[in-house]
Amino acid sequence: MSTAKLVKWGNSVGIRIPAQDLKMINSYVGEKFEVSVNNDGGLTLTPIKNSQEGWLEAFNAVADAGQDYLLINNDKDEWK
């Protein structure tokens, strides 16, 4: 177990998390976290996942399966 330190950051307070702890949870500098307060007065940090995470893999799977066709009428006259 390691320790973290609260530090002054402008008009706010930040927390310094050791780099080895970030590596253990596969997080990176700049990643956003949801902060919640526990019943015992502690904090829980939960990574906010990118809403588009996994899209590339899903698109590639559709393309590889040959299902990447348009689902709308491609009649260009309709768009004039």
Q: In which domain, by residue range, is 14 found? A: 5-79
For the chain, first and last CA: distance in Å?
65
The pLDDT tens digits of the residues spanning 13-67 come to 999 999 999 899 888 888 889 999 999 999 999 988 777 778 888 888 888 888 7
CB 16 within 8 A of CB 4: yes
CATH assignment of the domain containing 57: 2.10.260.10
Predicted model pTM: 0.52
The single residue listed with the structure tokens 């990118």 is 50
Question: Who contacts 32 (Cβ-Cβ below 8 Å, separation ≥6)?
Answer: 47, 48
Cα–Cα dist 58/65, whole Å: 11
Q: Number of folded domains in the chain?
A: 1
Res 30: pLDDT: 87
